[in-house]
Chain A
Amino acid sequence: MSFLEAHHVSKSYGDVRALERFSVTIEKGEIVALLGPDGAGKTSFMRILCDLIDADADAEMSLKIDGVDVRKDFAKVKPLVGYMPQTFSLYPDLSIEENMTFYAGIYGFTGAAYRQKRDQMYAFSNLGPFAKRRAGALSGGMKQKLALSCALLHDPKLLILDEPTTGVDPLSRRQFWEMLLELRASGVTILVATPYMDEVERTDRAVCIFGGRKLTEASPKELARQFEGRIYYLPQSPSRELIERLDAIDGLEARRFGSGVHLYTDERTEITVFDGSLRNAGVDPAQIEPIEPSVEDRFIQLMEQETVQ
């Protein structure tokens, strides 16, 4: 029995299909990324998981956490679950300490047991020195760390995090993920929705969701390897007319990437085939380097294939 089993979960808002028979299984101790653009259905799925909204009725649908049917008995699993929604949802007019005391009280922690847990969280998150500061006066990164701390107070076995690092500075993001990896090491299962590719690469498995449907799921390495075609990098300034010239070459696709150009060919073609055309376009082929496809490349490819259909 897997720790989390979701089967055929659908959700519509009026005419809009936010989730289309979405299924996923998560084993204990995994970190799974839910990867998808805005509006793909990630938040809807997570809210259904936490029994905050109802999924569409479907005889084939099932949703179980630790073997318990979420729709019937979510109260039983509540102590197991820690949820962090996309927008900050703690009390801005209370201090860090007051927020934590409040949530601890809800889970039944007071006195010495609470203080021990609280100090553990402070050490974990480096929020200790700011304990008396109002939550509304915290920076983005600190808010998220506080939200995570509150979600962890009751030692949940399953963490559901909806874009926990969106809008957070890079240093805080890194610290946040270090916290998550520590948690995984201690046996916590984590489902995290994220648009950041570098974060996806640190997970055990990535589930790609687009238009409410699951496109694929695989480990990040596997996902990147599934990329169809080859990618090369040309360190030349990606002016629009250069891109157009390169794109015009039959069998070659060009896109700007940072301060250079990505060139795409299909699986069987070596870039050397295009040497002549490239020189004609004003490019020195010797400068071109092959690069490993990334998760992002594969995901965009999947989205494009899906859109074409």
Chain B
Amino acid sequence: MFRAYTGLVKKEFLQVLRDKNMLRIIFAVPIIQLMVLGYAVTTDVKDIDLDVYDFNQSQYSRELVDAAGAGEYFTVTHDLQPTSQHPVYDLHTRFQAGASEMALIIPENFSRDLTSNENTTIGLVADGSNASSAATALGYMSQIVRQYAMDKTGVKLPIEIRRRVLYNPEGESVYFMVPGIVATLLTMITIMLTSMAIVREKEMGTLEQLLVTPITGSSLLAGKLSAFAVLGIFEMSFALAVGVLWFGIPFVGSPLLLFGLSAVYLIATLGIGLFFSTITSTQQQAMFFAWFFSIFAILTSGFLTPISNMPDWIQYLTYINPMRYFVSIVRGIMMRGAGIPELIGDIYPMLIFGVAIFTIAALRFQKRVS
């Protein structure tokens, strides 16, 4: 039986490597994902176009504007002189055209109030169509203004806050992205390949021919799944290599542990792929199911947006999303150097879900062609 197994594994590899489309998916997709998500999709807020409406035109207001534009967060693009035109209209036009995302409005009596120790107000208007960056930008600006106020008035807050960000002090979003990408690749590749390859045998009729041979259902499954598991791990390693070597992301924990737990995760994804192959009859259908499920899994895995921000009912749903646990595991190992004791809360559910879905799928598969 071992010969049958190795023959099967070899055949699967041959078939995948000969399929030009498959090859493109296996090699091009991870590179594109890494490049796009690593570079383009950044939650960092930088170079925000800031319009300044300075009705004060004093040394104080100039200092404030300089402070705002000093760092890398804001680019002062439109230093407006007060005109007879009402400033609010201009604001709308600029926002709508996408020419700027924030406006800083300094009132006429700004310097007078400051020097006479009276309270004064500054206007900050943000383009909320991108809610997350608007909130962050407002946060940055508020800090800049507060710092300026403390410098000018010499008033210190009674509580000094010292902030430290562990594990990702720069707040580099690519550190945050790559573990998620690694998990995504492993998930999508294994589910898609598994479901499509098995259904293809059904479609082409080659499955029937195999059923007449002495090969057992378990050998058949083992052979196919081994091949896809290897491919999935290869993809993951490839993505990790790019992440660490190209993007320079840290890898604090144990690679051995990561690969070991990936093998556990594979039980779940291979099981899901196998399950889809038992409920579809064409490769197109299989691909559709795989795709649809992957998108759902990715969006609710905590990869891009935190699960705790999601509505309660979705949060409950994520408990049966194995990818949620795996993303947490990958991040834990890569960024915090977590070990088994720390990750056990994620390992158990992932293992249980994986074994459950795999068993169901395998039982369905063992039924004969009928």
Q: How far is the CB of A225 from chain B (nearest CB, A)?
A: 37
B205 contacts which chain A residues (CB < 8 A)? 85, 87-89
Let me know if A106 and B214 touch, CB within 8 A: yes
Let me know if A81 and B7 touch, CB within 8 A: no
Is B86 close to A, CB under 8 A? no
Let me know if A85 and B215 touch, CB within 8 A: no
A88 contacts which chain B residues (CB < 8 A)? 205
The stretch of B12-20, B157-165, B251-259 in contact with A is B12-20
Is B369 close to A, CB under 8 A? yes
A78 contacts which chain B residues (CB < 8 A)? 212-214
A90 contacts which chain B residues (CB < 8 A)? 206, 209
A75 contacts which chain B residues (CB < 8 A)? 214
Let me know if B209 and A53 touch, CB within 8 A: no
State A103–B277 Cα separation when bound (angstroms): 23
Binding site secondary structure of chain A = loop
Is A102 close to B, CB under 8 A? yes
Q: How far is the CB of B267 from chain A (nearest CB, A)?
A: 26
> A50-B212, A94-B11, A107-B213 are known contacts. Are A89 and B204 too (CB-CB below 8 A)?
yes
Chain B: number of interface residues, binned into ranges: 20 to 34
State A305–B103 Cα separation when bound (angstroms): 95
Let me know if B368 and A52 touch, CB within 8 A: yes
Q: How far is the CB of A171 from chain B (nearest CB, A)?
A: 26
State A264–B19 Cα separation when bound (angstroms): 59
Let me know if B209 and A105 touch, CB within 8 A: no
Is B360 close to A, CB under 8 A? no
Let me know if A105 and B212 touch, CB within 8 A: no
State A244–B151 Cα separation when bound (angstroms): 117
State A93–B8 Cα separation when bound (angstroms): 14
Q: How far is the CB of A169 from chain B (nearest CB, A)?
A: 22
Q: How far is the CB of B15 from chain A (nearest CB, A)?
A: 6
State A98–B208 Cα separation when bound (angstroms): 18
Is B4 close to A, CB under 8 A? yes
A51 contacts which chain B residues (CB < 8 A)? 211-212, 368
> A91-B15, A106-B213 are known contacts. Are A101 and B208 too (CB-CB below 8 A)?
no
Of all chain B residues, the one with the shortest Cβ separation from A147 is B209
Is B156 close to A, CB under 8 A? no
B6 contacts which chain A residues (CB < 8 A)? 105
Neighbour of A52 across the interface among B8, B11, B204, B212, CB < 8 A: B212
> A78-B214, A93-B18, A106-B214 are known contacts. Are A53 and B369 too (CB-CB below 8 A)?
yes
B18 contacts which chain A residues (CB < 8 A)? 93
Is A79 close to B, CB under 8 A? yes
B3 contacts which chain A residues (CB < 8 A)? 105-106, 108, 110
Let me know if A85 and B7 touch, CB within 8 A: no
Is A30 close to B, CB under 8 A? no
Is A83 close to B, CB under 8 A? yes
State A107–B215 Cα separation when bound (angstroms): 8
State A75–B370 Cα separation when bound (angstroms): 17
Residues of A in contact with B (beta carbons under 8 Å apart): 50-54, 75, 78-79, 81, 83, 85, 87-94, 98, 101-103, 105-108, 110
Q: Can you report 10 residue pairs joining A to B where beta carbons are below 8 Å apart? A: A51-B211, A51-B368, A52-B369, A85-B205, A87-B205, A89-B204, A94-B15, A107-B213, A107-B214, A110-B3
Residues of B in contact with A (beta carbons under 8 Å apart): 3-4, 6-8, 10-11, 14-15, 18-19, 204-206, 208-215, 368-370
